[in-house]
Structure 1
Amino acid sequence: MIQKFFTLVIVLMTAGGLLAEEISLSASVDRNRVCLDEQINLRLEISGSAANPGNPQLPDLSDFTVFSSGRSQNISIINGQMSSSLIFNYILTPRHTG
């Protein structure tokens, strides 16, 4: 199950390079192993020059119970260059061992 999760993270990280605009995606988790009654905190950060990079499309995570634990946005304009970042936080709880 953890391998599926990290495969998801890798797919999300590489998907950012496919977009036409200068947008980057980073994903991180707070732990590498999780027991059945524990949680993983997933943090996705989308940043770039786009005014609104949009929300990430998460693939099927049926092995986890997924809760959104918040979203934050930062927009800065420096020397006429606008950049923005969106941070999405998710809490994932495994539904079964594996």
Structure 2
Amino acid sequence: MPSSAYALFRKAILTEQQVVCRYDGRPRELCPHIIGHNKSGQEVVLAWQFAGQSSGPLPQWRCLRLAGVSDIGLRKGRWHEGSSHSTEQTCVSDIDLDINIHVRKLR
């Protein structure tokens, strides 16, 4: 059974809502794009972080282990995505939901 964090991030993808949360002790604002599991079986999400705090420059792609995410909230707002899709993502090896394949192609 998926965690509550997984369910919220999945809902955010399906409804194209922004996520505000804490990860590694920092507030994050992001748009999740792909959710599933990594090679170790952990729940993970690939998201475009557009605001909040980060150890590096923003905006940027982030791979988040959902076990480390807290204080999750969804909100309406402009959908953000990275401009560069030149490399294949390695965050999510077992993809459950991808906004570009499972959501947008159905519209």
Q: Give me the TM-score of the superposition, normalised by structure 1.
A: 0.31
Point out the structure with the larger helix share: 2
Q: Give me the TM-score of the superposition, normalised by structure 2.
A: 0.30
